[in-house]
Amino acid sequence: MLGSGIQAEAHLVSIPMVRTIREIRVWGRHRTAAERVVDAHKSAADVVRVTDSAEEAVTGADIIVTATTATAPILDSTWLSRGVHINAVGSCVPTARELDAATVAAACVFVDDREAALDEAGDLILAIADGAVTSEHLAGRLGDVIIGQLPGRLQPDEITLFESLGLGAEDIAAANHVYSTGPADDQGAFAPHRVDRHGRRCGTSRCLGRLPIVGFYYLGSDSINCFTR
C-alpha cells in the first residue's frame, strides 16, 4: 500500500474482503499517517506494518495500491513481481503520475472509461508522451471485464493494472445497490452527511475515513455529500 489517506485506507479494508491477505505493508511520505492506518487495521491480515520505503512495501507483493498525491513516479517497474495486480488510484490529472512509464508498458491496462483515462490519467498520458505505449495499449474497461465481455488476466504471470479515475455513475450504482439491499430497520438507515474536502463532517471533527462510505456526490468546491451506513 503506497499512501496513507482515506483512499488507501478504504482499499486496505476492502481488499481483504475478497482476497486472503497474509501481510499488508504500508508506506507513506508521512510516517505518522502510515502508522495511524496500521494501528487502526492490525486485524486486516496476519501482519500489518509500516515500511521505510516504497520499494520495501511493494517488493514481492501480489497486489499493489498506489493512492497518493504524487506528481512524479513512486512505483518503479524493477520492483514488480510477475503476476502482480496494481490499483493506481491517486493520479487523476494529466500532469501527475504515480507509475513510471515502464510499469504501464509492462501491464495489461484496464480503465473505468477509455475517453476519460486518455484525457485525465497522467500515468497513461505521460507514458504515451514518453513513447512507451500508445492509446491502443489499453486493454479495455473494467466494467466489460465484470460483465464478461472482456477477459481479465490471461496468464498467471501477467501484470495487470487498473488505472482508476472514478465515475459518478459508479458511486450512484454502489449507493443504490447497498441502499436497496440493506436492512430497513434503524440500524440500516442511511443518512447524508455533508463533509469538507478533508473528509470531515462540517461542524464536527469526525473523519469519514472511519465510516463505511457507500457513495457520494459533489455539491461544489467546498463540500460533498456522503451516504454512510
pLDDT level of residue 183 (50, 70, 90 thresholds): low
4-13, 29-38, 194-203: the lowest-pLDDT one: 194-203
**Can you tell me which residue has the cell 512507451?**
132
> In this predicted structure, which of 77-91, 105-119, 134-148, 158-172 has the lowest mean pLDDT?
158-172
Residue position matching grid coordinates 500500500: 1
Question: Domain-by-domain residue ranges, the chain?
Answer: 6-163, 170-228
As a whole number, mean pLDDT of residues 10-36 equals 95
Predicted TM-score (pTM) of the model is 0.78
Given a contact cutoff of 8 angstroms between Cβ atoms, the answer to whether 92 and 69 are in contact is no
pLDDT digits (tens, 9 = 90+) for 45-81: 999 999 999 999 999 999 999 999 999 999 999 999 9
Please give the CATH topology (third level) of the domain spanning 6-163: Rossmann fold (3.40.50)
